[in-house]
Structure 1
Amino acid sequence: MSTIKEAPVIEEASSFKMLQAMVGIGILCALLIVVTYETTKPRIAQLKQAALEKAIFKVIPGISKTAAFHFVEGTFVPVGNQKKVDQVVYAGYNDSNELVGVAINGKGQGYADIISVLYGYSFDKQQIIGFYVLESKETPGLGDKIEKDPDFLANFTAMDASLSADLSSIKNKITTTKSGEKTNAWEVDGITGATISSRAIGDILASSTEAMLPLIYKNKNAFVLPKNQEKDGTTN
C-alpha cells in the first residue's frame, strides 16, 4: 500500500506566499516611484526654467530682460497664463527696452538621443549670435564636445543666417563641414571624433532656421515692446 505524500501541497503554499511577497514589493516600488516623481516634478520644472532663462541671456548677449511669445493665427503674441503653448520664441531687450534679438529652440536626432538647443538671432545682423545646448545625452568625452568645445562654439557667435531678398527663405542653408574645412560664414566647422553629433547640430539649425526665421522676421514688430511697457520697463 502506497503512502500519500503532503510535500507538494506545502511547496505550492510556499510558492504562493513568495508570489504574494513579490507582488507586494512590486506594488510598493511602483508607489514609491510615483510618489518620488510627483514630489520632485515641480522642482525639476523649476530647475529647467532656471536653466532656460540662463540660456536665453547667454545666446542673446547684451540683454537685461526677456519676454516669451508664441505663434497664434499668423503672428506672435505674448505668452499669458497658458500652461502649454507651441512655437515659443523668447525676445531679448537691452536696458533701453530696445529689441536686441530672439532666442529660438531647435531639436533633432543626435548620436545617442534627441538634442535640444537654443540659439540667438539678431534681426539687424541677420546672424546667429549665440548657441547653447539645453539637453543632450551624447557620449561623454566625444559627442558632448558640442556643449563645451570653444572652437566649436565659436561657430555660433556670428553665423550667417541672412534671408533672401523677399525675406521668404534662408539665403544659404546651414551645413556642417569636416573639421578645419569651413570656408563660409553659414557653415558649422565639425568636431573630429564627434562627427555625428556636430553634424546633428548643423542639421538642427538648418531645419529650424528655414522654418522659423522667415516667420519671425516677417513678424518682427510683434516683439517690439508697447509704449506703456517702455515707460515702466516691464515685460511679460
Structure 2
Amino acid sequence: MSETMTIAPEQKAATGNSNKMLFAMVGIGLMCALLIVLTYEGTKPIIAKNKAEALEQAIFKVLPGTVTTAGYYWGGNAFSPLKGTEAEGQRVYAGFSESGTLTGFALPAVGLGYAGEIRVLYGYDPAQEALVGFYVLENKETPGLGDKIEKDPAFLANFEALSVAVAADGNSLKNEITYAKSGEKQNAWEVDGITGATISSKAVTEALSTSTAEWVPRLYEAKERFNPQTQSHE
C-alpha cells in the first residue's frame, strides 16, 4: 500500500517565494560584481595616470635642481630605458639639470611599518655620495605618530646629506645606513629617529639601508654614462 504526499498550497507558495528571493539575490550579487569590475577597469587608467604624475612630482622634490627626468631599469648587467613593464623594484629615475648635467637618481624603497608597508622615494647624488632628498609615496601609519616621517623637520633633515659613500672595492658602501635614537646621531650615515614613532622611523631606515646597499654601488660606477641623450648604459 503506497502513500501519497500532498503539498499544501501555502507550502508551494512559500517554496516559490523562497526560490524567487534566492534568484533575486544571486542576480543582485552578479550585478554588483559586474559593476565592481567595470568600475575598477574604468578607473584603472586614471589611477595609473595619477600615480605616474605623483611619482614625477616626487622625483623633482628628492633631486634638487632637476628639470628633466628619464626612467631606467637594471637588466642584470646594464641600465636600459624603461619600457613600462618592469617591476617597480628594478626601476631607477635619473634627473638632469637645465644644462643636461646629472643631478642624481631617484629610487623607490619599501619598509614594513606599524600599520603596513611604507613606500618612499629617495634621491641619491653620486657627486656628493649622499642621499639628498626623501619623500613618502604611501603611508598607513597612525596619524599624529607614525606619519611624522612625512612631516617632522628634524627627521626630514636626515636626508639632506646622508652619507652613502662607496667602499674601495666598488661593490659595497663604506658604512651602511643605520638607525640612531632621537638625539643620539653621531655619524653622517645614521638616521636620527623620531620619539613616539620609533617603528615607523626604523622601517624607513631599514628600507633605505637595504635599497642603497644594492643600488648605490652600481649607480656610482655607471654615473658617467648617464645623460639625457643616451639610450642604454652598459
TM norm structure 2: 0.90
> Do residues 83 (structure 1) and 88 (structure 2) align?
no
How much does 1:221 deviate? 2.7
Once the two structures are superposed, what CA deviation does each residue of 1:65-107 show, in whole Å capped at 9, x if it has no partner? 111111124111222xx23114111111111101111111111
Once the two structures are superposed, what CA deviation does each residue of 1:14-64 show, in whole Å capped at 9, x if it has no partner? 221111111111111111111111111111111101100000000000111
SS in 2 for 1:179: coil
Tell me which amino acid in the other structure corresponds to 2:84: K
Mapped partners of 2:167, 2:176: distance in 1:
11
Trace 1:104-183 onto structure 2 (pairs within 5 A).
104-183=107-186
Gaps of at least 5 residues in structure 2 are 1-5
Among 183, 187, 190, the alignment partner of 2:190 is: 187
How much does 1:162 deviate? 0.8
Structure 1 pair 224–83 and aligned structure 2 pair: CA distance change class (3 A):
closer
Among 13, 22, 26, the alignment partner of 1:10 is: 13
Q: Say how many residue pairs are matched.
A: 224
Mapped partners of 2:84, 2:202: distance in 1:
33
Identity %, equivalent residues: 54
How much does 1:120 deviate? 0.4
Mapped partners of 1:14, 1:28: distance in 2:
21
| Aligned residue in 2 for 1:213 | 216
Tell me which amino acid in the other structure corresponds to 1:49: A
Gaps of at least 5 residues in structure 1 are 230-236
Mapped partners of 1:185, 1:167: distance in 2:
19
> Do residues 37 (structure 1) and 72 (structure 2) align?
no
Mapped partners of 1:149, 1:8: distance in 2:
69
SS in 2 for 1:219: helix
TM norm structure 1: 0.89
How much does 1:4 deviate? 6.4
Tell me which amino acid in the other structure corresponds to 1:130: G
Structure 1 segments, 4+ long, off by >6 Å, are none
Mapped partners of 2:31, 2:228: distance in 1:
53
Once the two structures are superposed, what CA deviation does each residue of 1:179-231 show, in whole Å capped at 9, x if it has no partner? 1111111111111111111100000000001111111112223323448x9xx
Mapped partners of 1:52, 1:4: distance in 2:
68
Aligned residues: CA RMSD: 1.8
| Aligned residue in 1 for 2:22 | 19
SS in 2 for 1:203: helix
| Aligned residue in 2 for 1:232 | none
Mapped partners of 1:140, 1:73: distance in 2:
40
